[in-house]
Each structure stands twice: as C-alpha cells, then as structure tokens.
Chain A
Amino acid sequence: MKSSTRIGGLVALATGVALVAVGCSAPAEESPDSPDTLVIDKSFDLVTADPARMFETTGGIVLHAVYDSLLTFADGNAEEPLPSVAESWEVNDDATVYTFNLRDGIVFSDGSPLTSDDVVFSLDRVKNIQGNGSFLMAGLSVEAPDEDTVVITSEAPNTAVPAILTSATLGIVNKDVVEENGGTDAEDAIDTDTAEEYLNSASAGSGPYTIESFDTTTEVVLVANPEYWGEAPEYDRVVIRNATAETQLQDIQSGTAHVALDLGSDQLGALEGNDEIITSTSSSPTIFFLFANANVDVSDVTATDDFREAMKYGLDRDALLELAGDGASVAYGIIPNTYLGALGEDAAVERDVDRASAAVARLGGDVTVSLEYPNDISVAGINFGPVAERIAAQLAEVGITVELAPGPVATTLENYRNGTEEMGLWLWNPDYPDSADYLAFGPGEIVGLRAGWAEGSDPALESVMDQVSTETDAATRETLYQDFQKLENEASVIVPLFQPAATVVATTAVGQVDFDPVFQLDIAAIGK
C-alpha cells in the first residue's frame, strides 16, 4: 500500500496548500500613515546606472536622485536652471566661457569631499566613454583652475550649456571610488573604462539617495544617503518597480504601489471617484509627431508637395488629442509649449477636407502609403496603435489609404533611423530642456534625415537654424525659434501632433506627486 500513502500525502499537501491560500487571501492591510518604503511603478527602459553611459528615461529618474549635477531644475520649472553642486556661475558675453563656483561642504556618500577634480573627471568621462549621452559634451571642454572653480568652454556660442549641465548623465561621480573600480576619464575610456559593473551595484554620488540594488528588468531600490548635504528626503527607502501601465493601474488600486508614472487616459478612467488616490496632471514635453518621407528614393508619393498638403489638412488634431488624455495639448510647433519660442494657438492648422482631397486628386487619387510605428512601447500610458489607427481613419476620409505597419521597437527603430520609412509615427523626448534640442528636426539634422529631409532642401529654414544656434540674445532667439517652427510647419515634412498629458498618480498616504518636466519625477521631492 505504499503508493496509496503517497497519494494520500499528495492530497494532504494539496489541502494544506489550499488552506494556506485561504489564510493568505485577506485583503492587504493599508495603514493610513505614510509608508516606510515608497513604492513607485514605472515602465522600465533601464540599461545602466553608470551616469556616463546612461541616457534613458528611467535611468534619468533614478540617477537624478543619486548624483548631483552642477546645476539643476526644481519644482516643475524647466526654464531657469538653479544652483546645485555649483553655487553660482558667470558667463561671458558671447556665451562661450562659463565659470562655476562650487558649493562648500558637499561630500559624497562615503564622506569624502566633492572637489573640482571630481567634476572634471565626471564630465570628461562622459565625453570619452562616448555613450548615448556623450553628445551633451560635444564642443565643450572642462578645466579646474582651483579646487572650488570649474570652467567650461564651448567652441561655439552656446546658450544651452546651463540647461545641458542639469542632465543626470552629467552627474558628478566620486573620482577616487570610480577610479578604484576601473573607471577612467582618459581619451580611450571607451575601451578602458570598466567601472560600469561597480556603478550598477553601488553608487558613488553626492545625491539624496544611494543605490541599494539595481536590476534593469525588475526593480531598483534606493536608500537615503546619510551624508547628503541638502535637506533629507521624506522617505528613507524607495523601490522603483518595472510595471506596464495595466499592471500599474492594478498596483495603485490594490495599494501595492504608492506612485504610478505611466497611466494614460485608458487607465485613469478606472480611478475616477477613487478617493484613496490623488492624480496630478500636467503637459508632458514629449512630442508625438508624424512624418512623410521627403526622399524620392523612399517614396515618390510622400515626397510630393501635394501629399504633404493632403496630410497637413487631412489630419484632425483635436480628434487625435482625445487619445492623448485629459490635460494633453495640441503641438502647434515642434518645440514644447513651455520652452522658449513655442508657438501658440494662432499657429493651429484647421482641418480642411476639401483642400486635402483636392491635393490627393492632384496626385491622381487612390493614394496608398504605409505608416510604421512601434507597438511594444507606451509613453505616458499612450500606445502608438490607437493614434496610428485614428490617423489612418482620418486620412482615409481624404482619399489616402494608410496601411499600418507596426512592429517591435527593435525592428521599426532601425527603419526609422535609416530613414527608410514612408511614413512614421514617433515621439521625441527632450535631451535637455532647451529649444536648441529641437533643431534636430531641421533638414539634414538627425530627425530631419530620418524623414528623408536632406541638407539644403529648404535654404530659408536652414538659414534660420544657423542664426539661432549662435544667437545669444534671448528675445532674438525667441523670434528665430518661432520662425523656425513656422517654416517647419509650412514644409510639413514633419507634423507635430500633440504633447500627451503627463499624469502622476499617488495614494493619499503619500500625497500629491507632480510630474517633473525635466526629470519626469523628482524622487527626493516626494512628500515635501
């Protein structure tokens, strides 16, 4: 009867299992008090925790809490850089030489003081490792005349330097610790620097938090830095978990997470009337845009003025906005609405079906194009799919058949970057909060080239771009940026669609948490 005992054991085990299951299934207890550990849900795009190699959204959020940069932004403001490691700074008249005076008394998490040496090391390391964010240092060189002063020199006049220096990529690392662990700022750092492994498991910064554990796919745990020079953060321990928008909704409803960063209008509807939750909505600087390839070799349809006109007037931007959530705004130009030179409502393009249809008729009617977009990522809870479907439906009304060609980012991104997409639906996150970043959308520039827009195809536009990039007067720059966008809109190779609503949802125990237009989330400011 040996086997029957075995079966009996199995049944007993199963019963036990079932009992435990019932025992465990009581709803999670929620204390009204503020939690000890703050749990933040974020859809991850983590790659590394080494500032010099990091240039992703999630990485930016994490490292902004771990490393201090020379300057920073705070309180949702993206216009005026504030002192951080640098207490004050001066700039010469042609915006080429910036002099920073470092704050006294800043120490790293190991207690050693932060000096100008660390700053030079950190910035040179970014430059020489040649990671995704190294372009920030393009044309810049760093020197330390004394222990408390750092001088940054730009090859060409560049008013964006202070904004650039706020980036978490340019966070100041502890030179001694990083060097001990294989780091270097030498010119061949791209081949010889081996500090990434260390920086992925620990941290070497002076920020409000230090890294307890770091996993690119599941979660990152931060603990408060006892040596922090500023005001201590409210939460001693913060967990940032990888979760899709759908999971975030469940987590915030069940109290599993306290803050959710990627909820879009699709999910927020479920939270209406929920008084355990506080939502904070603002307009995100992310721009969703559509382009029609201007390269005849890619498409002799989309490369025509008639097609561009049909696209421009065939789109109903207000109907697209509906998909971007409450609080989203139409992008009248490619520069986000809070930046210098942003266009206002007077630049709105009204839908004109007749005009668009006439343009299609001039093309011979029955136009078929393909529209590529990534279908496995979402930003601010917005998937590209519904937006693309609605664009297709709108253009169908003016006689353009849009065949949708979605794909995983890994495959679609390649076509996009190679400039071989006939039409593309993509987004742009600012690299740093300055309008200069949006010159990338001009002919011959990064995004322009992806839309098949070669250098020299729009001389008027390009001359404005040349002027604005070296102009130091703010008022003149504002006008030039406006001209730049008006000319862009006229050309209509790239059509900005909308800036989605950026909504941060938090439980009442934590209180309102606001979206940060530069860092997305300022972890250390939560609860203050």
Chain B
Amino acid sequence: MTATAPNPVDELDRRRRFRMRRVRLPRAWRRPLAVIGLVVVAFWVLVVIFGPLIAPYDPIAQDSARYLPPSAEHLFGTDGVGRDVFSRVVSGARISLPVAVGLVALSLAIGSTVGAIAGYAGGVVDGVLMRIVDLFFSFPAIVLAMAVSAALGPSLLNAVAAIVVVSWPAYARVTRSLVLGLRDANYIQASRLLGASAGRALLRDIAPNVIGPILVVATLELGNAILLLSGLSFLGLGAVPPTPEWGAMVADGARAFYNYWVALFPGLAIFSVVLAFNFIGDALRDALDPRTERAVGNVEV
C-alpha cells in the first residue's frame, strides 16, 4: 500500500521528464482556466488593497434597516442588523485572503521543515517524525480544529492555530517524499562528499529542487485553508462578530435564508476565490511533473 522502492530506471526517467516539463512551464499560462484564475485572484488582490475605497459603507455600522434587498443603494442588500452586505463582502477579502496566506505559509514552514529533516535524515528520525505526522493525519482534522477553537474560545487567531495544527502534516509528507527522491542523487552525494553539512545540503542543493512542487501544493492548499477557516467561522468557532468574515456572514444569512442575499454573496466570494486558486494550482500541477499529481492528490484534508 505505501510507497514501494522506486525502480532506478523509473527514477531516471522521472527526473528527465521533470526537467523536460519545467522547460514547458510557460505553456501553463496559456490554459484558459489558469488565466481566469489569475484574473480573479488579481481582482481580489485589488479588492484587498483598495477595500476601504471601494466599500460604500462602514462594514460594521448598523445604519440601515434590516434585510433590505439588493438595490442601487445597497448592491448586495443589508443583513439582519442593518449592515451593508456589499461593504462587508469587500472588507471580508481583507480578512480571508491575508489570513489564509499567512496560515498556509506557517503550515508550509513547519511541515516542510519536518518533512525535509525526516527525508534527509532517514532511519529512526524519519520513522519517529513520520509516525507523528501519521498521528496528526489520521486525527479527524475538523474535530481537532473544532475542539481547539471551542476550548480556547472562538477567535480568528485560535481558528488559524487549529488549522495550522491539522494542516502542516500534509506538507511534511510531500516534502519528505521529494527529498527522499533527491537524497541519493549523484550531485547531492558529491556535495556531501565535499564536506557539506546536512543543513547546507538541504538548503543549497535540495531546497531549490523541491520548492516548485511544494508551492503547487501550497496554492491548492490556499483554497482548502480558506474553506476550512470559513467553515469554522460558519460553525461559530472562528471569527468573532462583528468581524466581516465570509463564513460567519454565511452563518448570519443562514438564519433567514429567504433573504438570500445575506448568505449568497459572501458564499459566492468564498467560492470564487477558492476556485481561482484551484484553477491556478491545477495548471501549475500539470505543468510540473505529472507524478506530483499523485503526491499532491493525497493532500486532501
């Protein structure tokens, strides 16, 4: 069931293909979905930067009547306490996106460090580290995340901590398998013979070769992170009101879903961002070694 020892010929072939694909990388951007993804992400980045200029109202001011349907005055209507939904969706971008990026960066830093050490050191270190990874992996992520947020008290920060705790093992696995593949490559062996330390080998020789696939994973995980974060907020275990977090806004709207606009638009915002990241990640994944697909594919939380 688990990875079988790679056949040397396969390995050689794999690396050749890897390099070949890399040359063709630019072709990825000719894919229509990737282009759409990039445009949407660029759009949201602009929203994040210029949010306060775009939002017509204060996202937390309860100045209007409750549940006004969408109109010229309130593009996305108003919510149950009389706030402008459009302004809240716009401000929500400034929360969901940066937090998700930070969250993924943190998980990636922890996970890939552990994975690299395990892959490079091998033996007992590898065994112990990977059993820990397995442990976290098989712990139902959402249950752990829910328990952590419930116990610490709901807050955006606690939700982020909970998600980092459950998501770093994915990076550890991918990094380890990549490092494992490279460890015995001739040029690394050579550099080791030349007296390079383990840390140096990892950073100088191995890191540049594994960073690509890991970034693909990270792009795809960005979408997952946003989903999980908004899911926790939806359950009341993430962002605290009146923070205009998208998941929490969907929860607000769910109470009176016949006033569809309260929940519909923040939901669409989540959907569009996650979809865009997945469009980009998917194109990147294809552009790189098709085999990363398998490693990456396993990284579903």
Instruction: Assess A/B contact in the complex (Cβ within 8 A).
Output: yes
Q: Which residues of A pack against B, CB within 8 Å? A: 245-246, 249, 264, 266-267, 269-270, 322-323, 375-376, 383, 385-386, 388-390, 392-393, 404-408, 410-411
Query: Once the chains bind, are B154 and A246 in contact (CB under 8 Å)?
Result: no
Q: How far is the CB of B149 from chain A (nearest CB, A)?
A: 9
Query: Once the chains bind, are B236 and A375 in contact (CB under 8 Å)?
Result: yes
Query: Once the chains bind, are B153 and A246 in contact (CB under 8 Å)?
Result: no
A323 and B237 CA atoms in complex are apart in Å by 23
Q: How far is the CB of A308 from chain B (nearest CB, A)?
A: 24
Query: Once the chains bind, are B151 and A246 in contact (CB under 8 Å)?
Result: no
> Dominant SS at the B interface?
loop
Could you give 8 example pairs across A and B, Cβ below 8 Å? A266-B80, A375-B154, A386-B80, A386-B252, A390-B81, A405-B240, A407-B153, A411-B151
B43 adjacent to chain A (CB < 8 Å): no
Interface stretch among B17-25, B84-92, B254-262?
B254-262
A323 and B67 CA atoms in complex are apart in Å by 12
Besides the known contacts A246-B255, A322-B66, 8 further A-B residue pairs in the complex with CB atoms under 8 A apart: A269-B259, A270-B256, A386-B81, A389-B81, A389-B241, A389-B242, A404-B242, A406-B240
Query: Once the chains bind, are A246 and B80 in contact (CB under 8 Å)?
Result: no
* Chain B residue at minimal CB-CB distance from A267: B256
A273 and B257 CA atoms in complex are apart in Å by 17
Chain B residues with CB below 8 A from A246, complex form: 254-255, 257
Q: Which residues of B pack against A, CB within 8 Å? A: 60-62, 66-67, 80-81, 150-151, 153-154, 236-237, 240-242, 252, 254-259
A411 and B255 CA atoms in complex are apart in Å by 23
Q: How far is the CB of B182 from chain A (nearest CB, A)?
A: 37
Query: Once the chains bind, are B242 and A411 in contact (CB under 8 Å)?
Result: no
Q: How far is the CB of A106 from chain B (nearest CB, A)?
A: 45
Chain A residues with CB below 8 A from B150, complex form: 407-408, 410-411
Query: Once the chains bind, are B241 and A388 in contact (CB under 8 Å)?
Result: yes
* Chain B residue at minimal CB-CB distance from A392: B242
A410 and B241 CA atoms in complex are apart in Å by 19
9 tightest A-B contacts by CB? A270-B258, A266-B256, A266-B255, A375-B236, A393-B62, A386-B81, A389-B241, A389-B242, A407-B153
Chain B residues with CB below 8 A from A411, complex form: 150-151, 153
Q: How far is the CB of B138 from chain A (nearest CB, A)?
A: 25
Chain B residues with CB below 8 A from A408, complex form: 150, 154, 236-237
Q: How far is the CB of A381 from chain B (nearest CB, A)?
A: 8
Query: Once the chains bind, are A406 and B62 in contact (CB under 8 Å)?
Result: no
Chain A residues with CB below 8 A from B236, complex form: 375-376, 406, 408
Q: How far is the CB of A223 from chain B (nearest CB, A)?
A: 34
B241 contact from A249, A270, A406, A407, Cβ within 8 A:
A406
Chain A residues with CB below 8 A from B80, complex form: 266, 323, 386
A393 contact from B60, B67, B237, B259, Cβ within 8 A:
B60
Given A383-B255, A388-B241: A269 touches B67 (CB 8 Å cut-off): yes
* Chain B residue at minimal CB-CB distance from A394: B62
A407 and B158 CA atoms in complex are apart in Å by 12
A386 and B236 CA atoms in complex are apart in Å by 13
A376 and B235 CA atoms in complex are apart in Å by 8
Q: How far is the CB of B238 from chain A (nearest CB, A)?
A: 11
Query: Once the chains bind, are A389 and B154 in contact (CB under 8 Å)?
Result: no
Q: How far is the CB of A412 from chain B (nearest CB, A)?
A: 8
Chain A residues with CB below 8 A from B81, complex form: 323, 386, 389-390, 393
A245 and B255 CA atoms in complex are apart in Å by 8
Point out which of A245, A246, A266 has the most chain B C-beta atoms below 10 A from its C-beta.
A266
Chain B residues with CB below 8 A from A245, complex form: 255
* Chain A residue at minimal CB-CB distance from B153: A407
Point out which of B60, B66, B154 has the most chain A C-beta atoms below 10 A from its C-beta.
B154
Given A406-B236, A407-B150: A269 touches B242 (CB 8 Å cut-off): no
Q: How far is the CB of B224 from chain A (nearest CB, A)?
A: 24
Query: Once the chains bind, are B153 and A405 in contact (CB under 8 Å)?
Result: yes
Given A267-B255, A323-B81, A404-B240: A389 touches B62 (CB 8 Å cut-off): yes
* Chain B residue at minimal CB-CB distance from A390: B81
A322 and B237 CA atoms in complex are apart in Å by 26
A390 and B66 CA atoms in complex are apart in Å by 12
Q: How far is the CB of A408 from chain B (nearest CB, A)?
A: 5
A199 and B301 CA atoms in complex are apart in Å by 43
A322 and B62 CA atoms in complex are apart in Å by 12
Chain A residues with CB below 8 A from B256, complex form: 266-267, 269-270
Q: How far is the CB of A386 from chain B (nearest CB, A)?
A: 5
Q: How far is the CB of A317 from chain B (nearest CB, A)?
A: 15
Chain A residues with CB below 8 A from B151, complex form: 411
* Chain B residue at minimal CB-CB distance from A374: B236
Q: How far is the CB of A153 from chain B (nearest CB, A)?
A: 47
Q: How far is the CB of B136 from chain A (nearest CB, A)?
A: 24
Chain B residues with CB below 8 A from A383, complex form: 255
Chain A residues with CB below 8 A from B257, complex form: 246
A404 and B255 CA atoms in complex are apart in Å by 20
Chain B residues with CB below 8 A from A267, complex form: 255-256
Chain B residues with CB below 8 A from A376, complex form: 236
Given A383-B255, A386-B80: A404 touches B241 (CB 8 Å cut-off): yes
Q: How far is the CB of A318 from chain B (nearest CB, A)?
A: 14
